[in-house]
Chains A and B, each alone.
Chain A
Amino acid sequence: EDQVTQSPEALRLQEGESSSLNCSYTVSGLRGLFWYRQDPGKGPEFLFTLYSAGEEKEKERLKATLTKKESFLHITAPKPEDSATYLCAVQGEGGTSYGKLTFGQGTILTVHP
């Protein structure tokens, strides 16, 4: 069974203070690893897909990286509007559809001005 563990559960940063969120996973053959952002009371918003170890993706202040066992979401010089819950999910080859994702519990990021 696919498993995803995210750490830390919550992270408080000062504006401009760079940091990283961790996503550790076990999966029977990785089809894709996904990062989503979720604001309170809203649905998850897609950020990145990573397919193989060594791959990196960037979007504004966010950069996602992937190894064979974990993924990191690096946040450079965060702003208060980056405050949200960040979700990591995997899709393994054991699933029969591309959309059956296994999510972690999320990291709640708070950026103080």
Chain B
Amino acid sequence: DTGVSQNPRHKITKRGQNVTFRCDPISEHNRLYWYRQTLGQGPEFLTYFQNEAQLEKSRLLSDRFSAERPKGSFSTLEIQRTEQGDSAMYLCASSTEGAGELFFGEGSRLTVL
């Protein structure tokens, strides 16, 4: 399978715990994006990497959120001290430079109790 891979697919955690999601993009794609989607809404942009550089972050990305892409390949999104409002689907997408269309993974669903 050469698509975007995300894991875990589902995560249930208690308020205050830390969680980490991993994304493996399509191998030839140098751009990687994180989006968040809540029920009944479209995805909202969180952050963007070109290779290993994080070039843009949304104001939605509070200080409790951190994303990395250490070698320009896979990426991680960590949420510290989770809150119930963090419950959502976290989507990763990738693209080639110059291409507008994004290819999304299946998403990681977070439930904070």
A residues apposed to B, CB below 8 Å? 4, 31-32, 34, 36, 41-46, 49, 87, 89, 91, 96-106
Max chain A Cβ within 10 angstroms of own Cβ: one of B33, B41, B45, B50 = B45
Nearest to B105 among chain A residues (CB) is A43
In contact, B104 and A106 (Cβ under 8 angstroms): no
Nearest to B9 among chain A residues (CB) is A41
In contact, B31 and A44 (Cβ under 8 angstroms): no
B39-78 contacts to A, CB under 8 A, are 40-45, 48, 50, 55-56
In contact, B104 and A43 (Cβ under 8 angstroms): yes
Q: Interface size on B (CB < 8 Å)? A: 29
Once the chains are docked, how many angstroms separate the CA of A46 from the CA of B43? 13
B45 to chain A, nearest CB (A): 5
In contact, A42 and B107 (Cβ under 8 angstroms): yes
Nearest to A51 among chain B residues (CB) is B100
Question: Within the complex, which residue of B41, B50, B98, B107 is in contact with A43, where a contact is CB–CB below 8 Å?
Answer: B107
Tell me whether A46 and B101 are in contact in the complex, defined as CB-CB below 8 angstroms, given that A97-B31, A103-B42, A103-B44 are known contacts: yes
In contact, B98 and A98 (Cβ under 8 angstroms): yes
Question: Within the complex, which residue of A32, A45, A49, A100 is in contact with B104, where a contact is CB–CB below 8 Å?
Answer: A45
The 10 closest A-B pairs by CB, nearest first: A103-B42, A43-B104, A32-B100, A99-B33, A98-B100, A44-B104, A43-B107, A46-B101, A43-B106, A97-B48
Max chain A Cβ within 10 angstroms of own Cβ: one of B42, B44, B55, B104 = B42
A77 to chain B, nearest CB (A): 26
Once the chains are docked, how many angstroms separate the CA of A36 from the CA of B91? 14
In contact, A89 and B42 (Cβ under 8 angstroms): yes
Residues of A within 8 A of B103 (CB): 46
In contact, B101 and A103 (Cβ under 8 angstroms): no
Tell me whether A43 and B31 are in contact in the complex, defined as CB-CB below 8 angstroms, given that A99-B48, A103-B43 are known contacts: no
